[in-house]
Amino acid sequence: MPNLDLRTILVTYICGNLVCGIVLTYLWWQNRRHYHGLEFWALSFLSNFVGIGLLSGRGVIPDFFSMLLGGFFLIAGTYLLYKGLAVFLFGINRTPLHIYALMVLYLFLQFFFIYVSPNFGIRNILFSTMLVFFSAQLGWLLYFQADSATRKITGFVCSVTTIFGVLAIIRIILNLLIYPGANPQQSASYEAYLYLAFQLMYVVLTISLFMLVNRRLMIDLEADIIKREETETELDLSRDKFAKAFQASPTAILITRISDGMIIDVNDGFTKIMGFSRDEVLNKTTKEINVWVNPDDRNKLVQEMREKSHVKNFHFDFRVRSGSIIHGEMSSEYIRLGDEDCMLSAVQDITERKRMEDILHLRLKLWEYSLTHSALEVMQMALDEIETLTGSQISFYHLVDEDTNSLSLQAWSKKTLTDYCRAEGTGMHYSIDQAGVWVDCIRERKIIIHNDYTALPDKHGLPEGHAQVIRELLVPIFQQEQIVSILGVGNKPTDYDQRDADMVEYIASLVWSIVAKKRADEQIQQLNEKLAALALVDELTQLPNRRAFFLRGAEEISRSKRYGLPLSMLMLDIDRFKTINDTYGHARGDMALQCIARVLRDQVREVDLPGRLGGEEFGILLPNTRLEEALVIAERIRKSIEALQCKQDTEVCITMTASLGVADYNRDMQGLDDLFNRADTAMYKAKNNGRNRVEIFKED
C-alpha cells in the first residue's frame, strides 16, 4: 500500500471542510426565511474546520489547543449537525440531557489521557466512540422518529451518517489491533486512509444535505401548488356562493369605493328598497343619486371605516328614488378589490322599528311632561314631536263638541306659530258647518288624507295669515262614539300614507287621554280648593272662621318665638247684640255682623288676620305689633264701629258699639290659648266697665 502524506491529507481535509462550510452557509442564507436549523449545519462544518486545523498544529501550538480543544470542536461539529437536522425536520430545538452529559464526560477523559496518562490510541477510540454515538442518534432521529413521508427525503442523509458510524467502528477496531502511533504526525498508515475516507464522506454529506433541502423545497412547493389549487377551487365556490347569497339576500347589499362612494355592485334587495334599477346606480356615487339626506353621515361612516375597518349599526336617513325619507341601519366591512379600498355594506330599512321606538319614547315623555305642565303645553309638545316624526311643517289640535256642532282651536305647534301661520284663532269657537274640507274627518267620521289639497273642488279660502296648505292628514278622536278632538298635520314633503295615519291616530288618542285626565285633575283640584276655602271661611261674613284663625295664630306664635317678634291680639264683642236680634230680627242681626266684618277688613293691614270666632265675637291677630300699637288699632276700630250706620237700601239704620280687649304675647305663655284667654279676659273687663271701650289685659 503506498504511503500517504498525513499532513497533506489534513491540509486538504481542512480546505474541504472550509469549502463545505461556505457552501452550507450559502444554503442557510438562501433558505433562512423558509426553514430553521440550516445555520447549525454551517456551524457544524466550520467547527470541524477549526477542530482539524487545531489538531494539525500539534507541535506548533500548545497541546491544550491542538488536542483538547481540537477534539472538542470536532465533537461539537457532530453535535451541531444533529441539532440542525432535529430543528430542520421536526422543529425540535431542545437537546436531551444525556448528550450534554456524554460530551462533558468526553472532555474529562480527553483531558485525563492528554495530561495525566497520555495515550494517543485511547483518545482515538474515545473520539471514534463519540462518532458512533452521534451516528446512532442521527439514525434514530432520521429513521425511527420520522414518519413515512419524511423518511423518503432523509434516506440519503441517513445512509451517509451510517457510513460515518461504520468508519468510526473500523477505526476503533484498527486502533485496538494495530498500534496507532504516539501522535497524529506519527500515526499508522491506515489513519491516513481513514482521514481521506472521512474527508470524502464530509463532501458526500454536504451533497446529501443540499439534496435534503431541495427535496423538501420540492415537496413544499408541490404542497403549496396543491393548496393553492384547492384554495382557488374553494374561492371559486365561495365566489359562486357569495354571488348567489349577494343577489338572493332580502337585505339591501352594496359594494362601494371608500374614496368617493362609487357603487360597484348592488343586489336585488337594494333595488327594491331604494327604487332604483341596478343599471341606474352602477358606477355612480351615492351622492350622485342623492341617497344621503345628511351628507355628513357619509363622512362619519368613512372616518369610522378607516379607523376600525368595520362599522356596526350605523344609523342614518336616506332618500329613495320617490323622494321619501327612510331611516336605515348600515353595517359595513372593509374589502380590497384589485388596488382599491372598498366596503361591503348591508342596509336595513328600520323606519317602522324606529317609529315604534319613537312612539313609545314619546308616550313616556308626554306623561312625564304632563306632570308639571298644563294641558295646552302638552298639546303643543305633542304637535312638535308629531311634526318631527312625520316630516310635517304645520300641525294643530282642535277640541270638538258634537252636541253643539262646534269646535275650538286649542293649540298650534311652535313651528306653525313662528314660521308659517299668522292667522288669529286660538281659543276661537266656531261652527263645524262653517269649516272647510278639513272637517270632512268629522262629517265622514274617519281619517282623511288630502295629498293634493289645491285640487280639491270644495275647499274654502284660507283666512289672512294662514299657512298655505299643500297636503294634510286629519285624524278624529272618538270617545264613546263621540268625536272629542281632531289632530291635523300638513305639508309633508312627500305624500301621507297609512303608516302616517296610524301613527298620528295613536299619538292623538294618547294626547286626548292625557288632556282629558289633566282637565279632570284640574277640575278636581279646583273643587278641592273651594272645599278647603269653605272649611276655613265663615259663610256669613266671609272672614276666616275659628279654625282658620287658630291655625294662623299657631303659625304666628311659632314665628314670634323663633325670631323674637312682637305679637298682639284683639278680642271684639258687639254690645247688646241680643237686643238687635230681638228688636230688628235675625236677618238684621246678620246684616249687622256683615257690617262689622267690613269695618274690620277696612281698618286692619294686609298682614293682620280678622276672624269671626262665633256669634257676635271677633278676633284680630296683629303680627309684629307691640301692645301700645295694638291699643291704637283697637281704639280706631271702636270709633269706626261707633260711627257706623249699618243699613241696606232704605231699610232701618242700625247703630252699634263694641267692647275690645287687647293682649300681647310673651315667652312665658304656653301658646295661642294663653294669648286668646288674656285678650278675652280684657274684653270682658271692657264690658264690665261700661261697654264701648278698650281694655288692656293686666296680671292683677
Summarised one tens digit per residue, pLDDT across range 594-619 is 999 999 999 999 999 999 998 899 99
- Among the candidates 320, 349, 378, a domain finishes at 349
The pLDDT, as a whole number, for residue 428 is 55
Q: Are 528 and 384 in contact (CB under 8 A)?
A: no
Closest by CA to 71, choosing from 59, 60, 56, is: 56
CA atoms within 13 A on the CB side of 413: 21
- What is residue 656's predicted lDDT score, i.e. its pLDDT? 92
What pLDDT is stored for residue 466 in this prediction?
64
Mean pLDDT to the nearest integer, 67-89: 83
DSSP H or E segment with residue 483: strand 482-490
User: Could you write out the DSSP letters of every residue in 128-154?
Assistant: HHHHHHHHHHHHIIIIISS-HHHHHHH
Can you give the pLDDT at residue 650?
A: 53
| Residue 440 in grid coordinates | 270632512
Q: How far is CA 125 from the centre of its chain?
A: 78
CB 616 within 8 A of CB 593: yes
Distance CA 339, CA 343 (A): 13
The pLDDT tens digits for 69-78 are 877 888 888 8
CATH number at residue 446: 3.30.450.40
For residue 198, give the C-alpha cell. 472521512
Chain length of the chain: 700
Residue 75 belongs to some domain of the structure: yes
Q: Are residues 61 and 195 in the same domain?
A: yes
Residue 67 near residue 110, CB atoms below 8 Å: yes
Look up residue 240 and give its three cell numbers: 359562486
Q: What percent of the chain has pLDDT over 90?
A: 17
Calculate the CA 420 to chain-centre distance: 38
Question: Any residues with CB less than 8 A from the CB of 457 and at least 6 apart, and which?
Answer: none
**CATH for 629:** 3.30.70.270
pLDDT in tens, 417-440: 777 655 554 555 567 766 777 777
Confidence band for 520, pLDDT divided at 50, 70 and 90: confident
307 is catalytic: no
646 within a domain of the structure (yes/no) = yes
In a domain, 342, yes or no: yes
pLDDT value, residue 526? 76
Selected residue with higher pLDDT from 256 and 58 = 256
In the structure grid, which three cell numbers stand for residue 248, read together? Answer: 338572493
Helix, strand or coil, per DSSP, at residue 665: coil
Structural domain including 334 reads 249-349
Regarding whether 260 and 382 lie in a shared domain, the answer is no
Same domain, 383 and 492: yes
Tell me the percentage of the chain whose pLDDT exceeds 70.
89
Q: Can you say whether the dihedral through the CA atoms of 554, 558, 561, 564 is positive or negative? A: negative
Task: Pick the most confident of 183-192, 234-243, 656-665.
Answer: 656-665
Last residue of a domain, one of 490, 524, 558: 524
Is 537:548 a contact under the CB 8 Å cutoff? yes
Residues 360 and 338 in one domain: no
Rounded to two decimals, the pTM is 0.45
Check residue 598 and give its pLDDT. Answer: 93
Q: What are residue 398's DSSP bridge partners? A: 409, 486
Is residue 164 located within the same domain as residue 274? no
Please state, in angstroms and rounded to a whole number, the distance separating the CA atoms of residues 66 and 53.
8
Q: Are residues 516 and 554 in the same domain?
A: no
In a domain, 550, yes or no: yes
Complete DSSP assignment for 595-624: HHHHHHHHHS-TT-EEEEEETTEEEEEEET
pLDDT tier at 5 (50, 70, 90 boundaries)? Answer: low
Q: Which pLDDT belongs to residue 68?
A: 80
What number is the average pLDDT over the span 338-360?
A: 84
Task: For residue 441, give the nearest of 508, 519, 352 by alpha carbon.
Answer: 508
pLDDT of residue 168: 81
Top mean-pLDDT range of 14-18, 338-342, 343-347, 633-637: 633-637
Quickly list DSSP for 89-119.
Answer: HH------HHHHHHHHHHHHHHHIIIIIS--
Question: Is 136 found in the same domain as 68?
Answer: yes
Question: Residue 452: what residue type?
Answer: D
* Separation CA 467–CA 163 (nearest Å): 108
Residue 658 has a pLDDT of: 95
Give the dihedral sign, CA 128/132/135/141.
negative
pLDDT given at position 555: 92
> What integer pLDDT is reported at residue 1 of this predicted model?
39
Is residue 362 pLDDT above 60, yes or no? yes
Residue 682 in this model has a pLDDT that exceeds 50: yes
* Rounded-to-integer distance, Cα 302 and Cα 328, Å: 16
Instruction: Provide CB contacts within 8 A for 326, sequence distance 6+.
Output: 273, 317, 318, 319, 320, 349, 351
User: Which pLDDT value is given to residue 678?
Assistant: 93
Over the chain, what is the mean pLDDT? 83
In a domain, 88, yes or no: yes
| Phi/psi of residue 54, nearest 5 degrees | -65, -40
Residue-level pLDDT at 460: 62
**pLDDT at residue 184 greater than cutoff 70:** no
Is the pLDDT at 175 greater than 60? The verdict is: yes
Q: Mean pLDDT over residues 643-659, rounded?
A: 82
Residue 461 has pLDDT above 90, yes or no: no
Q: Cα separation of 446 and 449, whole Å?
A: 10
- Whether 578 and 460 share a structural domain: no
The residue-averaged pLDDT of 636-644 equals 93
Asked whether residue 182 carries a pLDDT value surpassing 60, the answer given is: no
64: which DSSP letter?
I
pLDDT in tens, 288-305: 888 888 888 888 888 888
CA pair distance 298, 292, nearest whole angstrom: 7
The answer to whether residue 664 sits within a structural domain is: yes
Query: 546, exposed or middle or buried, with CB in 10 Å at 0-12, 13-18, 19+?
Result: middle
Pair (328, 408) in one structural domain: no
Q: Is residue 235 assigned to a domain?
A: no
* CB contact at 8 A, 435 and 396: no
User: How far is residue 442's CA from residue 448's CA, in Å, rounded to a whole number?
Assistant: 9
CATH number for position 323: 3.30.450.20
Q: 381-386 long-range CB contacts below 8 Å, 24 or more apart? A: 382/507, 382/510, 382/511, 383/411, 383/412, 383/413, 383/416, 383/487, 383/489, 384/413, 384/414, 384/415, 385/507, 386/413, 386/487, 386/489, 386/503, 386/504, 386/507
Bridge partner residues of 310 (DSSP): 333
CB count in 10 Å sphere of residue 314: 17
Summarize pLDDT for 486-495 with one digit per residue, the tens: 888 888 888 8
Taking residues 562-581, report their average pLDDT: 92
Least confident of 142-146, 254-258, 503-507, 589-593: 142-146
How many independent structural domains does the chain possess?
Answer: 4
Are residues 361 and 466 both part of a single domain?
yes
More confident residue, 620 or 96: 620
Catalytic residue among 616, 617, 629, 695: 616
User: Does a structural domain hold residue 405?
Assistant: yes
The predicted structure's pLDDT at residue 630: 94
- Same domain, yes or no: 419 and 467: yes
**Averaged pLDDT for residues 442-465:** 76
Residues 463 and 598 in one domain: no
Identify the domain boundary among 349, 381, 396: 349
Round to whole Å and give the CA distance between 19 and 421. 101
